[in-house]
């Protein structure tokens, strides 16, 4: 039996630098699909950070996975840059593919153009947020609500909530098209516990007293992540725990504004902004608590990572996250955009280490049991083959 040729379309390959959980999931999915059944080609729509991307391109090449990356990202001329990148990607293919699978908003659009250009038989996409094209509602209405139900052969959502949103679209209901859940997942072998000496050394390297309580978060510094609420909560926590330190790992458009907010809240010497980092496995164990202050999510990979690393989690009660955390059992849930409640949950867990650790252990077992990337990859492969077989049978009947 021949192998399927599957293209995974991502925004880019600068994982843990410029990219987020969707890109990490796409790469991990590619790595865990059975190479005897499926030949995966990972496409990055743009080059974002050549140095960061080279590491992953080399690693994937060593594992027998081909990568194709578009031209450098140029925000000064976005449309021309997008078209140029697609043309470059197209030029790297000489043989047709079986499936195109997009893992991002721009990838969904790219898939429409690349499908005929690459001779793809089937087109799939995964919605990584319940609110797609959050800043471009007109695009969401045109593309997600009215075009994609016609042109995509299968749509997936990383959470039950994301699937419910897709299934409510009037055109999807008219066409009787239903999305399927395929959860985000993580490589459960990635995180090994650090020794107390390693934790102390890691904190010192960041300028943090090894004995200080550390409350951290990891993500792109964008409005979606609610980091202004995080900083306001941090100010309230610091009033009760003067030794507490706060760690923000990531970069993004709100970097300068958040640093100014920290200064305005008199937290400049208590908040450590690390910038983009590619060593999440070394940073999470330095935290006593992980906080997700997001305003909306799909199924946040970083929360899965924190749970897997054994770090107690406080998170906002938003779609996707509520499918991971049961309040008071595997973490704490608080309302979004409510710094007071967020701070209250943080210092309650800081003041109750046994309760925090019990939640963290429960969460770790839960992730290992239900969100292992190897199991998700097997389900994805089965879906690919079912779609290809159904498509072939349909052509025969015609």
Q: Quick one: pLDDT at residue 192?
A: 87
Task: Compute the distance between CA of residue 174 and CA of residue 172 in angstroms, rounded to an integer.
Answer: 5
Residue 396 reports pLDDT greater than 80: no
Q: Quick one: pLDDT at residue 77?
A: 96
Q: Find all residues with CB under 8 Å of 295, minimum gap 6, and list them.
A: 223, 224, 225, 226, 316, 318, 336, 337
pLDDT category, 392, cuts 50, 70, 90?
Answer: confident
Residue 1 reports pLDDT greater than 70: no
Residue range 275-323, pLDDT digits in tens: 988 889 999 999 999 999 999 998 999 999 999 999 999 999 998 999 9
Q: Quick one: pLDDT at residue 21?
A: 86
* Average pLDDT for the chain: 95
Residue 17 reports pLDDT greater than 80: no
Residue 167 reports pLDDT greater than 70: yes
Q: Find all residues with CB under 8 Å of 122, minimum gap 6, and list them.
A: 98, 99, 100, 153, 154, 387, 388, 391
Residue 19 reports pLDDT greater than 90: no
Residue range 331-379, pLDDT digits in tens: 999 999 999 999 999 999 999 999 999 999 999 999 999 999 999 999 9
Pick the residue with more confidence: 52 or 159? 159
Task: Compute the distance between CA of residue 302 and CA of residue 220 in angstroms, rounded to an integer.
Answer: 11
Residue 18 reports pLDDT greater than 90: no
Task: Compute the distance between CA of residue 152 and CA of residue 101 in angstroms, rounded to an integer.
Answer: 10
Nearest to 5 by CA among 137, 95, 113, 136: 95
pTM of the model: 0.90
Q: Quick one: pLDDT at residue 274?
A: 96
Percentage of the chain modeled with pLDDT above 90: 88
Residue range 229-283, pLDDT digits in tens: 999 999 999 999 999 999 999 999 999 999 999 999 999 999 999 998 888 999 9
pLDDT category, 76, cuts 50, 70, 90?
Answer: very high
Whole-angstrom Cα Rg for the chain: 21
pLDDT category, 52, cuts 50, 70, 90?
Answer: confident
Task: Compute the distance between CA of residue 185 and CA of residue 187 in angstroms, rounded to an integer.
Answer: 7
197-212 average pLDDT score: 97
């Amino acid at each position: 039996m021949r192998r399927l040729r599957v293209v995974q379309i991502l925004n880019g390959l600068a994982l843990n630098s410029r990219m987020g959980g969707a890109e990490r999931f796409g790469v991990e999915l590619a790595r865990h699909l059975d190479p005897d059944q499926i030949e995966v080609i990972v496409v990055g729509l743009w080059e974002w950070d050549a140095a960061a991307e080279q590491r992953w391109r080399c690693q994937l090449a060593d594992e027998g996975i081909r990568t194709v990356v578009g031209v450098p990202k140029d925000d000064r001329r976005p449309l021309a840059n997008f078209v140029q990148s697609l043309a470059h990607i197209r030029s790297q293919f000489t043989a047709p593919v079986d499936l195109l699978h997009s893992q991002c908003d721009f990838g969904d659009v790219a898939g429409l153009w690349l499908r005929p250009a690459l001779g793809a038989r089937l087109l799939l996409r995964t919605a990584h947020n319940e609110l797609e094209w959050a800043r471009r509602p007109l695009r969401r209405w045109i593309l997600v609500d009215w075009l994609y139900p016609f042109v995509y052969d299968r749509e997936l959502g990383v959470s039950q909530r994301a699937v419910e949103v897709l299934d409510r679209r009037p055109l999807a209901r008219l066409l009787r098209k239903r999305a399927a859940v395929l959860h985000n997942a993580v490589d459960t072998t990635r995180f090994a516990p650090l020794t107390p000496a390693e934790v102390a050394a890691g904190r010192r390297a960041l300028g943090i007293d090894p004995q200080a309580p550390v409350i951290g978060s990891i993500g792109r510094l964008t409005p979606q992540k609610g980091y202004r609420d995080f900083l306001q909560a941090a100010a309230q926590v610091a009033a009760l725990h003067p030794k507490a330190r706060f760690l923000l790992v990531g970069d993004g458009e709100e970097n300068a504004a958040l640093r100014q907010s920290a200064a305005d809240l008199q937290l400049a010497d208590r908040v450590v902004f690390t910038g983009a980092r590619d060593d999440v496995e070394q940073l999470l164990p330095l935290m006593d608590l992980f906080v997700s202050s997001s305003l909306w999510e799909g199924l946040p990979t970083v929360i899965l990572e924190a749970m897997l690393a054994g770090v107690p989690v406080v998170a906002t009660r938003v779609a996707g996250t509520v499918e991971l955390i049961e309040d008071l059992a595997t973490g704490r849930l608080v309302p979004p955009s409510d710094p007071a409640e967020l701070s209250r949950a943080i210092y309650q867990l800081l003041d109750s280490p046994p309760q925090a650790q019990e939640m963290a252990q429960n969460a770790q077992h839960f992730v290992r049991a239900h969100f292992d990337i190897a199991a998700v990859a097997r389900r994805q492969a089965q879906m690919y083959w079912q779609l290809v077989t159904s498509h072939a049978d349909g052509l025969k009947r015609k």
